[in-house]
Amino acid sequence: IQVINGKSAWPVPPELLGLLQEESFVVVPLYSPGRSLGVIIADHFVTGEPITETLVRDLESFASQASLAIEHCRLYMAMEDQIRELKAVTRELEQNKDLLVEAERYSAVGHMAAQLAHKIRNPITSIGGTARLLARKTNDQEWLKFLNMMTAEVIKIETTLEDLFNFVETVQPEKEPVALRELLTRSLMLYYSSMKKQNISHRLITPEPGPVLRLDRKLMHQAFVHLIRNSIEAMPEGGSLKITVTPSDEKAIRILFEDTGPGIADANIALATDPFFTTKTFGTGMGLTLVKRIIKDHQGSLVIERRKSGGTRCILQLPGE
């Protein structure tokens, strides 16, 4: 659009004339196929020379090249955005691929473990039962020593088999109101004898009245038992176990399991809940994996950390009523 002395073959908005405060100027569009990019407005304010047809054609040529450059820049930026999105999708696919491979591996191991555990369970139960029966029927101290040793090893194998079955088995929590203090006390009672033998003191600290949570009683008992057992096994020469229940906030309860054992090495903390990871000479390394899964199924969280004073602290957070 060329305006000369305020007149043009095309309608010119009065606002544009007022903005430029010039009566002679040229408006050239910037565009790409199917898209308007803007306009170039040129006047003769500086030179005062007439705007000739040659100048208009030169400006149109410049506008065409500028439109092309702007469109190329827009396409380049759009391509960069798509490349970033593609990289993000690629990363996600890589992560999902690793997860799928890991899931397939665990599925195969779990299937094999279930078959193996099923074949071993009955003979081990028979061996353990026979050893206990013989221990009750003999007074020979030498025989008793070996029979008690056999019984202890059978218990370890039975515990390992139970862990394998629990790991493979997928159970949805059946929640009901459960008194937390009572459930923790029941879990501790299983190890009163072991703690006495190993000279381990224990304390259970809960608020009064104790909280009542919606839990699967059996699964949460299983989680507590694993945590207590881990603490006891970490203190063969004695120590102390403290379990503290405190409100985390208005909608959550925090349960702390703290022992005075050697603690978990910093390098192993992140691996502690991985399936089959263990630093013990016995066991499957699935105890904390099961605990984490049970807590997660209750919409809770599990954090494991090394205490500054020595030992391990396991922090469970569960939703309140």
User: Over the stretch 209-223, which tens digit does the pLDDT of each residue have?
Assistant: 788 999 999 889 989
**Are 182 and 311 found together in one domain?**
yes
* Same structural domain, 150 and 268: no
84 within some domain: no
Single out the residue of 70, 20, 16 nearest to residue 43, CA to CA: 20
Average pLDDT, the chain: 80
Residue 244 lies in a domain: yes
- Same-domain status, 311 and 186: yes
Same domain, 25 and 156: no
Q: What mean pLDDT comes out for the span 87-91?
A: 77
Structure-token match 């945590």, residue found: 227
- Report the range out of 43-57, 61-75, 137-151, 229-243 with the highest average pLDDT: 229-243
In a domain, 89, yes or no: no
Owning domain of residue 214: 176-319
> How many structural domains is the chain composed of?
3
Per-residue pLDDT at 276? 52
> Residue 99 has what pLDDT?
64
Q: Which residue has the higher pLDDT, 224 or 43?
A: 224
Q: Look at residue 200 in the predicted model and tell me its pLDDT.
A: 93
Residue 114 lies in a domain: yes
pLDDT band at 281 (very low <50, low <70, confident <90, very high): very low
Q: 175-190 burial, b if ≥16 CB within 10 A, otherwise e? A: eeebbbbebbeebbee
Same domain for 119 and 231: no
pLDDT at site 133: 84
Q: Report yes or no on 43 lying in a domain.
A: yes
Q: Which residue has the higher pLDDT, 124 or 244?
A: 244
Q: Is the model more confident about 80 or about 202?
A: 202
Q: Does the residue 158 lie in any domain? A: yes
**pLDDT attached to residue 256:** 94
Helix axes 180-189, 217-233, angle to 10 degrees: 50
Lowest mean pLDDT among 29-43, 94-108, 292-306: 94-108
- Same domain for 62 and 193? no
State residue 6's pLDDT score.
63
**HEC profile for the chain?**
CEEECCECCCCCCHHHHHHHCCCCEEEEEEEECCEEEEEEEEECCCCCCCCCHHHHHHHHHHHHHHHHHHHHHHHHHHHHHHHHHHHHHHHHHHHHHHHHHHHHHHHHHHHHHHHHHHHHHHHHHHHHHHHHHHHHHCCCHHHHHHHHHHHHHHHHHHHHHHHHHHHHCCCCCCCEEEEHHHHHHHHHHCCHHHHHHCCEEEEEECCCCCCEEEECHHHHHHHHHHHHHHHHHCCCCCEEEEEEEEEEECCEEEEEEEECCCCCCHHHHCCCCCCCCCCCCCCCCCHHHHHHHHHHHCCCEEEEEECCCCCEEEEEEEECC
pLDDT at 107 over 70: no
Are the C-beta atoms of 10 and 33 separated by less than 8 Å? Answer: no
Mean pLDDT of 258-274: 73
Q: At which of 106, 134, 168 does a domain end?
A: 168
What pLDDT score does 240 carry?
Answer: 93
Q: In this structure, are 264 and 187 located in the same domain? A: yes
Task: Provide, rounded to the nearest whole percent, the portion of the chain with pLDDT above 90.
Answer: 18
Residue 85 lies in a domain: no
pLDDT at 164 over 80: no
CA distance 28 to 49: 19
pLDDT at 283: 47
55/36 same-domain check: yes
Per-residue pLDDT tens for 171-228? Answer: 688 889 999 999 999 999 988 988 998 999 999 999 887 889 999 998 899 899 989 9
Q: CA-to-CA distance for 206 and 184, rounded, in angstroms?
A: 10
Q: Please check whether residues 194 and 137 belong to one and the same domain.
A: no
pLDDT category of residue 282 using cuts at 50, 70 and 90:
very low
In terms of domains, do 111 and 137 share one? yes
pTM of the model: 0.53
